[in-house]
A and B are shown apart, each in its own frame.
Chain A
């Protein structure tokens, strides 16, 4: 398996090279052009043999911190997890299977959220479960109305 190549050499430089090769001047621009793809899918596109999803995410967090857009990134992350675990949108009924799918999406989201946003993410998750969105809800990106209400931009 060629996965070991992901960790050889200067992977950050490699990552940015691939982004520029595709005509984007930032990882964020590249990622926002694919708002529902998973981090793994983005990595596959940039380098199926030597780019890992976690590297893409780390780069995006770095850029978001610099441009003070972390909350937006966090909203966008939830979008990607929802598309991964709930392909038909928010379930009409929370049976055992659906309950797990929702839990999995929320867990994958909060599991790697930047520390600065841990509390906000937890409250947002609580709110989603307390007042569930309409059945079939599938946000298309970080500008989704419901998501903006749950996690408003408020960075200085």
Chain B
């Protein structure tokens, strides 16, 4: 993922810094600058997201309690999904920027206004999905990921339309040879060719070439769509419940060119699904929402009490691992029960309230240890308490206010 992000970044930087064309026409001209900025904004959050996923994965590997280890590892899931689809969508956006840039520079007959209107329309298609992916809300990320194949289909049609309009205009203007060659060059060398399959104008409803699993990876006919290594990595992530199978399937379908609307809800062939980690347990995760803390609508609660944020910060809960990352969704009855409401007859004799109980446990342990607890040690104790209260160790990000 870092590789494709890097390529997209250099493409973006190249078109940002090109010398302005004749009459100021170019994607880096004032009028079109906002479209460039949309691109750079995405680079920033994708880098951030990949960075925090890396930090979390590292933190998970240091933990002793296996359920807590898995809980922390699964926190990377929404981030990996967001980065994967964010990079894909961004690369597609950059394709559009390059196309528009080429048209502005080479096609003097192409109306400035039309390029703006076309690009703006595409912006309307990608802006919301991009901010959903950047939102860090697992529900929105998942929804955006699943909607990607259909979106890619729409973007393909847009791209082809802009491309052929430009070509038609240039043919009319007589500057066919040079301009058309430049245009073809742009589309040929765009960084993620595979994301925009070149469909013939009268494309059939289905492509007719199914996907199949082979030793080289997932194939569409004789073409490798995604490599065997990628499949293996995804399989491990799916089976650990880190990333969802529907999201991975969406990615494979996009790369395989199955992006027509009619195919939006088709599933991958069984052989490919199995290779990606499909199993009754994985399907079960989907139903119960175990694989993603954000799958239900129950309200979120901070496991590590907000009013002691600083105490936790001093013990390593900051940045990518701050206390807002450690929220859980609890139904009302459960939440009330652990906060001292609902049916405890011994409220006075024994403090059954989560926040107080947890802080007392942590402070007592720290006093006995004779030194400040490390983050891992805190998480170890927290895991025991979560199991004691039967709070599932499935984390989601909550609000800091």
> Does A112 contact B361, Cβ atoms closer than 8 Å?
yes
Q: Which of B289, B381, B388, B391 has the most CB of A within 10 A?
A: B388
CB contact between A4 and one of B331, B345, B348 (< 8 Å): that residue: B331
Total count of chain A residues near the partner, CB < 8 A:
38
CB contact between B369 and one of A40, A43, A100, A112 (< 8 Å): that residue: A100
CB neighbours (8 Å) of B350 from chain A are: 58, 61, 112-115
* Cβ distance B100 to chain A, nearest Cβ, rounded Å: 49
Q: Which of A4, A57, A62 has the most CB of B within 10 A?
A: A4
CB neighbours (8 Å) of B48 from chain A are: none
Answer yes or no: A18 CB below 8 A from chain B CBs. no
Proximity string of chain B (324-341) to chain A, C-beta cutoff 8 Å, 1 when within and 0 when not: 000000110110011000
CB contact between A1 and one of B288, B363, B369 (< 8 Å): that residue: B288
Proximity string of chain A (35-68) to chain B, C-beta cutoff 8 Å, 1 when within and 0 when not: 0000110010000000011100110011001000
Q: Which of A6-14, A23-31, A132-140, A141-149 contacts B (4 or more CB under 8 A)?
A: A6-14
Answer yes or no: A131 CB below 8 A from chain B CBs. no
CB neighbours (8 Å) of A65 from chain B are: 346, 349
* Cβ distance A10 to chain B, nearest Cβ, rounded Å: 8
Would you list which residues of chain A between 88 and 124 have a CB under 8 Å from chain B?
99-100, 102-104, 106-108, 110-116
> Does B334 contact A4, Cβ atoms closer than 8 Å?
yes
Total count of chain B residues near the partner, CB < 8 A:
45
> Does A106 contact B368, Cβ atoms closer than 8 Å?
yes
CB contact between A107 and one of B330, B352, B368 (< 8 Å): that residue: B368
What is the bound-complex CA distance between A6 and B337, given in angstroms? 10
Known: A4-B334, A7-B333, A12-B343. A99 touches B390 (CB 8 A): no
* Nearest neighbor of B360 in chain A, beta-carbon distance: A111
* Nearest neighbor of B354 in chain A, beta-carbon distance: A54
> Does B288 contact A108, Cβ atoms closer than 8 Å?
no
Answer yes or no: B47 CB below 8 A from chain A CBs. no
Known: A1-B288, A4-B331, A58-B350. A104 touches B380 (CB 8 A): yes
CB neighbours (8 Å) of B351 from chain A are: 112, 115
What is the bound-complex CA distance between A106 and B391, given in angstroms? 22
* Cβ distance A145 to chain B, nearest Cβ, rounded Å: 23
Answer yes or no: A17 CB below 8 A from chain B CBs. no
* Cβ distance B283 to chain A, nearest Cβ, rounded Å: 15
Answer yes or no: B267 CB below 8 A from chain A CBs. no
Known: A58-B346, A58-B352, A61-B346. A52 touches B390 (CB 8 A): yes
Known: A12-B343, A61-B350, A107-B361. A40 touches B388 (CB 8 A): yes
* Nearest neighbor of A125 in chain B, beta-carbon distance: B368
* Nearest neighbor of A109 in chain B, beta-carbon distance: B364
Known: A104-B380, A111-B360, A125-B368. A54 touches B388 (CB 8 A): yes
> Does A108 contact B384, Cβ atoms closer than 8 Å?
yes
> Does A7 contact B360, Cβ atoms closer than 8 Å?
no
Known: A4-B331, A104-B381. A52 touches B389 (CB 8 A): yes
Known: A8-B333, A54-B388. 7 other contacts (CB 8 A): A1-B290, A6-B334, A40-B387, A107-B365, A108-B365, A111-B357, A129-B368
Query: Nearest 10 A-B pairs (CB), nearest first?
Result: A107-B365, A111-B361, A103-B369, A103-B368, A52-B390, A107-B364, A53-B388, A7-B333, A3-B390, A7-B334
Complex A-B: 12 CB contacts under 8 Å: A4-B334, A39-B388, A53-B388, A53-B389, A54-B390, A104-B380, A104-B384, A107-B363, A107-B365, A107-B381, A111-B365, A112-B350
